[in-house]
Structure 1
Amino acid sequence: MKQFLSFVYKEFCHILRDSRTVLILLVMPIVQIILFGFAISTDVNNVRLAVYDPSNDDATRQIVERFDANRYFSLVETLRTPQQIEEAFRSNRADLALVFEENFQQNLLHGGTGNVQLICDGTDPNTATLVTSYASNILAAYQAELSAGTPAPLQIVPEVKLLYNPQMKGAYNFVPGVMGMILMLICAMMTAISIVREKERGTMEVLLVSPMRPIYIILAKAVPYLALSAVNLATIILVAVYILQVPVAGSLFWLSVISLLFVITALALGLLISTLVKTQVAAMLASGMVLMMPTTLLSGMMFPIESMPGVLQGLSAVIPARWYIEAVKKVMIEGLGITYALKEVAILSAMAVVLVVVSLKKFKYRLE
């Protein structure tokens, strides 16, 4: 028994000496429970509301006040013309538009029926369904309160209109997310593993003493994954269009340019990971923790970022996949021009430059 306890003690010592093992065993569960606990939520919060109210009477003002007081909605803009409704969605300023008919209160009190249109972004069908359901409940509650003081029942009729995805196809939401996840994993993880494999086997030293400059050796390791990512991108788009029936509503050229920029960012991230670890196993674990889980949970691929706590929203801002998915949705799904995706393109470009510079600075051209 004493010998058995000695072996147990030895094993504990081995585990505690390895900081990476301790990180995986003790820290990763805490990170996972926090991310899963806060990020995975079916609730929708902070819905940005835009209102077009040509009637501007007491009834419409009371309804708008109810929406603004509700914890799910936040009034961000009052529209003056119908043309501003679509522009609010194109500019990503609103998630829901509340459109009243003219003479709403008069039609409701004297005709018994008032019409309201709920216009929502349908690129994420689940979120759109929840948002319109919340809005319909507020209208129903106001209708019930108003009808209680009148002899005849009053009816507020909400008409739901979903932009960009009127058929409520789930593929419109997950295709951009899958594109971001696949390109990120193939480029970053495989680049990191391939470079670390050369270091682990000792062949990187042979490559570095060759006549070719080290920078070209690094680029040579990345080019095949760039080409394979281009093939994967073409395959994903073909499957999305011809099998999943998700059309490319915008420019295919700009979609390819944005994807290429994202691939370069992912390759640079993989190179950075390869400079921080020494074994293939460590590279795979680092890629899984740094890329897989955050990309899945915090990029907006599965859960709306607006529903997350402020800390996780800030953390999601440093995940390249988030900006790529948003740009793809604008160009591919919503059919917007590149001018509407300039913010995402600028952020991805800055990330690519920073990652490339840091990776090259940290890369050891003379291996021990």
Structure 2
Amino acid sequence: MKQFLSCVKKEFRHILRDMQTLLILLGMPVVLILIFGFALTTEVKNSKFAVLDFSKDASTRAIVNELDASRYFDQVAELHTQGEVEKMFHTGKARMVIIFPPSFASDLQHVNKAPVQIIADASDPNVATTLTGYASNIIMDYLDRYKQNRKLPFTIHTQVRMLYNPQLKGTYNFVPGVISMVLMLVCTMMTAITVVREKETGTMEVLLVSPVSPVKLVLAKAVPYALISFINIISILLLSVYILEVPIHGNLLLLLSESILFTLTCLSFGLLISTATNSQQMSMFISLTGLFLPTLMLSGFLFPIENMPVILQLISNIVPARWYYQIVRAVMIEGLPFSAVWKETLILSGMTVLLLFAALKNFKIRLA
């Protein structure tokens, strides 16, 4: 244990000697979280929705059929009780729920107006706004056709509710994504060059003949960056809550635990890259092209995964940031318990074990 702590202390000294890099590692999360508040408007297609129809008449069936026939929506379920609505959002099976009251048909025919409620998951405000706009337009198109050859002014009033993010703040969407990016940058990229740096400077031979075992040597490389990543997580959450006013609706301990798990996943990936390459440039290149860019493009942070081609949707399953992004959004924004994110947690745990095993297995005791 004493030998292991000595290696950890050595790594901390390496980091502290380079104050510019240390300032970047600690200052980058603050800069990103403060200036990354942009909104992207993208077309939303094939979004899943459910229907709670208490009326069950020809008009409601026609509206649902038009929604389902459009390229924007796919009906996934027909609900029977009000309690099923929350479950659809908790399980991620639907992004939107349409509710028709029992008197929809009679109100439309006799009172000339009828209410329709659209409930959308606003943890991603851009998608929620787009979906409710599409649904409202489709309903209005149906109303226009319904009013043909009728003198009475029939009207359908659409009532929209935005769950989890009523004010549609863009920060609710990009905060989980920024956390993913920061951890990927700090953990993976910086860890990816730590073993390679020893090879290039010629100090790896000295470390290999020391009493420290190769396993402890590799793990000691990751400890300082794990601590820096944890500091970054705390700083991002503090800035999110007190500066950007993004509340943590879920369990804080669960959120921190999931963040630590993702940190370990990124560290394991960085160690694997570090043991498989012989130059810092190659390590940085693989980290950027193999992890950072997929984190931006395939995690669901910038673009909804369901909008992507099937091949990219399949590839996104092997991007760790996709699962962590879903966890943070579910716990932090939607306030869901562990039972709602156990699958994502299990996937990240499996990735961590597999990557760490591969990194240790790939570490060469003898240098060529």
Cα-to-partner distance string for 1:249-292 (whole Å, 9 max, x where unaligned) = 00000101100110000001001111221111111111110111
2:153: which partner in 1? 153
Cα-to-partner distance string for 1:214-248 (whole Å, 9 max, x where unaligned) = 11111111000010011000000000000000111
1:204: which partner in 2? 204
Cα-to-partner distance string for 1:8-41 (whole Å, 9 max, x where unaligned) = xxxxxxxxxxxxxxxxxxxxxxxxxxxxxxxx98
AA aligned opposite 2:299: S
1:225: which partner in 2? 225
Question: In 2, Cα distance between the equivalents of 1:53 and 1:237?
Answer: 40
Q: Is the 8 A contact 1:41 1:303 kept in 2?
A: no
1:143: which partner in 2? 143
1:175: which partner in 2? 175
| Alpha-carbon shift at residue 93 of structure 1 (Å) | 1.1
Question: In 1, Cα distance between the equivalents of 2:359 and 2:158?
Answer: 54
Question: In 2, Cα distance between the equivalents of 1:222 and 1:242?
Answer: 30
AA aligned opposite 2:134: Y
Question: In 2, Cα distance between the equivalents of 1:305 and 1:264?
Answer: 24
Stretches of structure 1 that go unaligned for 5 or more consecutive residues are 1-39
Question: In 1, Cα distance between the equivalents of 2:246 and 2:205?
Answer: 48
TM-score by length of 1: 0.88
Count of aligned residue pairs for this structure pair? 329
1:213: which partner in 2? 213
1:120: which partner in 2? 120
1:343: which partner in 2? 343
> Identical aligned pairs, as a percentage?
49
1:269: which partner in 2? 269
Q: Is the 8 A contact 1:301 1:325 kept in 2?
A: yes
Question: In 2, Cα distance between the equivalents of 1:318 and 1:127?
Answer: 24
Aligned ranges for residues 233-272 of structure 1 at < 5 Å? 233-272=233-272
Question: In 1, Cα distance between the equivalents of 2:123 and 2:340?
Answer: 16
1:17: which partner in 2? none
Question: In 1, Cα distance between the equivalents of 2:149 and 2:201?
Answer: 82
AA aligned opposite 2:291: L
Aligned ranges for residues 298-317 of structure 1 at < 5 Å? 298-317=298-317
AA aligned opposite 2:83: Q
| Alpha-carbon shift at residue 357 of structure 1 (Å) | 1.1
| Alpha-carbon shift at residue 53 of structure 1 (Å) | 0.5
Question: In 2, Cα distance between the equivalents of 1:296 and 1:205?
Answer: 38
Q: Is the 8 A contact 1:114 1:156 kept in 2?
A: yes
Question: In 2, Cα distance between the equivalents of 1:288 and 1:94?
Answer: 33
| Alpha-carbon shift at residue 149 of structure 1 (Å) | 2.5
2:287: which partner in 1? 287
2:19: which partner in 1? none
Question: In 1, Cα distance between the equivalents of 2:149 and 2:270?
Answer: 66
Stretches of structure 2 that go unaligned for 5 or more consecutive residues are 1-39
